[in-house]
Each structure stands twice: as C-alpha cells, then as structure tokens.
A and B are shown apart, each in its own frame.
Chain A
Amino acid sequence: MWRVGTVVGLHDETATARTITLQVPDWSGHVAGQHVDVRLTAPDGYSAVRSYSIASAPNSEHRVEITVERLPNGEVSPYLTQHVAVGDRLELRGPIGGWFVWRSQQAEAVQLIAGGSGIVPLMAIIRSRVSAGNTAPFRLLYSVREPGGVFYHDELRALSEQDRSVMVTYAFTRAAPKDWSRPPSRVDAALIAEVTWPANLAPSCYVCGPTPFVETVANFLNASGHDREKIRTERFGPTGERK
C-alpha cells in the first residue's frame, strides 16, 4: 500500500509553500484531481499521515509533485517545507479519489474555483489539459489573500496569455496589487456571476479550498442554477488538530 518516493526537486512557490517533486519507481499513474497520503515516521516510531493533492499532470515518468503550504501549527507541513532535502525518501499512498477528477477525454466547459491552497488539484487539471492537448474552454477563479500568496503565478500568466480558451481571474481577499480594479474582498455572488461560466452552459465545476470557502462558493453556484451533480468539491483543512 505504501510506496517510496525520492525527492528529486524542490521549488518554493511562495514564502510559505513549496513544491516537492518525487520520483516514484512503481507509480501506477494518476488522474488530475487525485491526492496522495504522505506518512512521516519519527525515529521512535511515532507517525503522522497527511493528504496532499497531486499538482502534476498525469505523466509517464513516474513523477509525482505535491505543493505543501506550511501551516503555523502544523505537525507535518513545517517538516515538508523546511527540512526535506533532495535525495530524501518519503512514503506515500495513492493515487486516491475517483470523484474529484478531470479526465482528458472530457469535452465540456470547465469552471475551476480555488480558495488558497485549493489551487493545487486544479492546477493538476489545468496541466493535464495542456499536456493532453484538450481544447475545452476553461475558466479559473483563484481566491487568495494577497499577490505574494499566489502559487504557479508565472505558469498561469503564460497560459492565459497564450491560450484564449483559458481565462484566469484573481480575487484578492486581504491585499490587492496597486491599481487593482476590485478592492480586497471575499468571493461573492456578484463576482461569481461576472467571471464564471453561466449555468446554462452546463460546465463541470470544481471547487477546492478550506471548508467555509467551498460551502459558500458551492451554494452560490447552486443558487445560480448549476446542477448539483456538476459541482464537484474538495475541502481542505486541519485533520482535527489545532491549538
């Protein structure tokens, strides 16, 4: 059940988030949207398991990337973002999940809505679309506290500049760039109506982020006419442990 991956790359996405690239020799492949469970074991046998979404598109190189955000009271994330080095080995289980997935054969319009680190599995979906040459029209609404908190910024900018069928909108909730047209504020019904695919297009919607964000956004989508079965959600959060 548990496989061993070797860290072959580390890349800081922000001041507190890092992408870890793992080489997993017996990886059976994955679908965009799935996650892995990572297990850390201390020398005395104490272990902790946490789930992380796979950030990389399906590939044939046995490569699995995860992007980990360091939580202030976290038990595992500080270790993964600050102690892990290239060459280290990590135990992982997966790929896990069969509902919150996007397959490259899907042809319908797609609406992605990310809250903070919820961008990770949605980025896997975007990357999967690119590598498969899929041309379904995509929109991403990415809610984040401030510009310094954006993951994959350069890649998203390049993509939306090169591909007219991918539209990226940022919603900054605490601090926005200078001259930003929208003052810092949470995602609301008006913004959803303005920048997301309308319900009559019957897009497949993927919403990911902290539980309160997902509940709010899914309710907005539902209220604006999207079919419940077309809204797929994944909630992130502490696994019951906090100060």
Chain B
Amino acid sequence: MSIISTGFLGRRTPTDGKLPPGQYLTTDFPVLSAGPTPHVPVEKWEVLIDDGKNILGRWDWKSFRNLASENITADLHCVTRWSKLGTSWEGVSLDALLGDIQTDAAYALVRSYGDYTTNLPLKDLINKQAWIAFRFDGKDLEPEHGGPARLLVPHLYLWKSAKWVRGITLMQQDRAGFWEGLGYHNYGDPWREQRYSDDK
C-alpha cells in the first residue's frame, strides 16, 4: 500500500469530458524522446513511400508543401497516461500521398529520421485517419515536437504518431517497430486500453 500524499495532484487538470480509460488530462505538452532530436534542414528533407524494394512516391519539402493541406483538430492520448484535447495541426492527409499508389500491402512501417520506427495496418493510415503534419498550434512544428514534419494518427496512442517522419514502407507482412518489439501493443487503441502486448 503506497503512502498517500495529501494534496498531491500532479500535473493534471479536472475534466468533465470523456477520456479513454486510464488517461489523465493535461494542458501542457510533454516532450518525450527515445533519442536525440534530429535537425533536418528543409532543403535536405524528403518523405518516401516504398515497398521495401521500389520507391513508390517521393516528395521533397517544396513538392510536399505544394500538396493540398488541411487543418486538423485532434485529441492526443499518450500511453504514459496523459491526454491533450483539441490540439490544432495543419498537415497533408495520407490519402493524398497514398492516393495514386497501387499496392496489396496490408501493413506499414513508419520510419523517422534517427532510428525510430512504428508499425500499423495500412487501413489505419487512410480514410481521413492520418496526416503528415507540419504546423502545430498555428506555428511551424518545432524539432522537439517532431518538426519539420511528423505523422499524426490520433485514433491510436501517440507513440504511433512518429516524429521526424522520413518514410513509410508498405509491407505484406507485419513487422514490429521500436516499441512494439519491446512489449507495447501491436495496434494501440486507447479506447480499448491496448497499451502492452498482453492487453486484449
């Protein structure tokens, strides 16, 4: 039995809104990293879509920014239990990037500058569920929050929204990413509280 510290609340805000199970509301924006912040100048930046053998799509910063973008309002749920509601982003939908690509792949491995990866079913990246976001809260996305651009997949835990996105590999067989291979849930639905690999 832990000792209770009377009056200790932590960095949480009371909420009437509905949160996924086990989450707490926060008003700040924690910076959680698995590694050093990559600093990628936009002149060198690119995002690729490949199938492990062939490049199926490639955009440099200029061509990426020429694509139609949209404003997104998203609730963020981190597996470390904080949630931040109503965040505003601007980004390019994965539907726009994947639109012309023919594939029978069912899975995707998202790769970041640095060594971070995360995997998810391809069907979770399409149908207005995912974006490559380059602006947060009205400003260019800062490197510590994943800038120049990060993946945003709000319906899954935030570790799936890979920062510093560099590419997406389409795969026929699933392959675990950085945290999925070390005990985190392969899918990660916050509403079913799928945090760890032995959660249903």
CA distance A210 to B4 in the complex (A): 30
Q: Are B8 and A91 in contact (CB under 8 A)?
A: no
Q: Are A40 and B5 in contact (CB under 8 A)?
A: yes
On whether A90 and B5 interact (CB within 8 A), knowing A46-B24, A48-B10, A241-B11, the answer reads yes
Flag whether B30 is at the interface (Cβ < 8 A).
Answer: yes
**B1-29 interface code vs A (CB 8 A; 1 in, 0 out):** 01111111111100000000000100011
Give the bracket for the number of chain B residues in contact with chain A.
Answer: 10 to 19
**Count: A-B pairs, CB below 8 Å:** 56
CA distance A51 to B73 in the complex (A): 36
Whole-angstrom distance from the CB of A106 to the nearest CB of chain B?
34
On whether A42 and B9 interact (CB within 8 A), knowing A89-B3, A91-B3, the answer reads yes
User: Which residues from chain B contact A10 at a C-beta distance below 8 Å?
Assistant: none
Flag whether B55 is at the interface (Cβ < 8 A).
Answer: no
Q: Are A41 and B30 in contact (CB under 8 A)?
A: no
Q: Which of B5, B8, B12, B31 contacts A241 (CB 8 A)?
A: B31
Q: Is the interface of A mostly helix, strand, loop or mixed?
A: loop
Flag whether A178 is at the interface (Cβ < 8 A).
Answer: no
Flag whether A70 is at the interface (Cβ < 8 A).
Answer: no
Whole-angstrom distance from the CB of A16 to the nearest CB of chain B?
18
Q: Are B7 and A240 in contact (CB under 8 A)?
A: no
Flag whether B33 is at the interface (Cβ < 8 A).
Answer: yes
Whole-angstrom distance from the CB of A12 to the nearest CB of chain B?
19
Q: Which residues from chain A sit less than 8 Å from chain B, CB to CB?
A: 2, 4, 39-43, 46-48, 73, 75-76, 79, 83, 88-91, 240-243
Q: Which 7 A-B pairs have the closest CB atoms?
A: A41-B2, A241-B30, A75-B11, A243-B28, A40-B5, A40-B8, A240-B32
